[in-house]
Structure formats: C-alpha cells, structure tokens
Amino acid sequence: MANEGRIRVLVAKPGLDGHDRGAKVIARALRDAGMEVIYTGLRQTPEMVVNAALQEDVDVIGLSILSGAHNAIVPRVAELLKEKKMDDVLVVIGGIIPDQDVPALKAAGVKGVFQPGSSMETIVQFIRDNAKPRAVSA
C-alpha cells in the first residue's frame, strides 16, 4: 500500500454557485483520510477544472454543484477529459442532484454521485476503492 503513493484529489466548484460548505467539508475529510487534496476555489469553468486536474496530475476529480447546473457542466468536463486523454481520472460529483439526472451523469462518465445526506466516510471509501493512483497506473 505504502508504495502506491497517496491519492491526489481535485475538489472543484464549477459554475456560479458559491455554496462551498460541502466542498470544504469533503476536502478536509479526504485530507484527514490521508489523501492529497487540491481545492480549486469558486466559479471554475469546465476548462479551468480540467486544466487544473492536468497540471496537478490528480487521480480524482470531485465536483460540487448545488445550483442545478450539473446537466450542463458535467458532460462538458467529461468531454474535455476525453480530449486530453485523461478519462482514466475518477470523476465523482456531490450536491443537489435529483435521482432522474443520475443515469445521464453516469453515462457521461461520472462514477460516483453523492446526493444530500451522503456521509464523508462513504465518499472516502468510494474514492479509495475506485481511484487508481497515477503513479502506479503510469
């Protein structure tokens, strides 16, 4: 395990939404769970998120969206990841995501969708189980 390196996670707030309680709590929980966390700050375009993921060489992108803009933002992020050949990066999303939007998000490449009430522990475990640290996969 120790050789695998720490999982690197980009916690991103795309869109105009400023509700960052969730993003901050998760960033701290992931850090406390031993992961390396980079938080983008607010109001990132899909391009900014993907560029940050590339530059920071992350294994995971965690998107936090509470404004209802996920159906516009997430497919764009997925498209850019494909373009940059980064589709091995694990993409998860948390926020106010209605059930009926979940299948489309998963089809776009989102592996984990965490709706209101999801625990930090579930999210940490999901990332541990599904992230492939790039140091190993490379």
Partner 1 sequence: MARTSKQDESTRVDSHFSEDRTPSESEARWAETTLAKALEQHPERPTGKPTGINLDEHGRARFSTISNRPIRRLYTPQDLPADWNYEKYLGYPGEAPYTRGIHATGYRGKPWTMRQFSGFASPEETNERYRYLLKEGGNGLSVAFDLPTLMGYDSDHPFSEGEVGKCGVAIDSLEDMEILFRGIDLEKTTVSMTINSPASLLWAMYLVVAEKQGADWKRISGTLQNDILKEYIAQKEYIYPPAESMRLVVDSFEFGSKYTPRFNTISISGYHIREAGATALQELAFTIYDGVEYVEWARRRGLDVDEFGPRLSFFFNSHNDFFEEIAKFRAARKIWYRLMKDRFGAKNERAWLMRFHAQTAGVSLTAQQPLNNIARTALQGLAAVLGGTQSLHTDSYDEALALPTEEAARIALRTQQVIAYESGVTNTIDPLAGSYFVERLTLDMENGAFEYFDKLDALGGMVQAIEYGFPQKEIAEASYQFQKATEAREKITVGANDFIIEEKPPAILQIDESVAEKQKAKLKALRTRRDNDAVRRALDELKRAAAKSPVTTHDGNISKENTVPYILEAVRAYATVGEICAALRDVYGTYTEASIT
Closest to partner 1 by CB, 79 or 135 = 79
Residue in 17, 23, 105, 14 with CA at minimum distance from that of residue 51: 14
- Chosen residue from 12, 49, 60, 70 binding partner 1 by CB under 8 A: 70
Is 129 among the residues that bind partner 1 (CB under 8 A)? Answer: no
Residue 51, interface with partner 1 (CB under 8 A)? Answer: no
CB 23 within 8 A of CB 13: yes
Nearer to partner 1, 51 or 71 (CB): 71
Pair 27, 79: CB distance under 8 Å: no
Decide: is 45 part of the binding site for partner 1 (CB under 8 A). Answer: yes
25 in contact with partner 1 (CB under 8 A): yes
**CA gap 1, 37 in Å, rounded:** 19
- For partner 1, which residue of 48, 86, 120, 135 counts as binding (CB under 8 A)? 120
Task: Please spell the DSSP secondary structure of 44-73, one letter per residue.
Answer: B-HHHHHHHHHHHT-SEEEEEE-SS-HHHH
Measured from the CB of residue 88, what is the shortest distance to partner 1 in angstroms?
A: 25
Query: CA-CA distance, 122 to 114, in Å (whole number)?
Result: 9
Task: List contacts with partner 1 (CB under 8 A).
Answer: 11, 15-21, 23-25, 27-29, 31, 37, 39-43, 45, 67-73, 96, 98-100, 115-117, 119-121
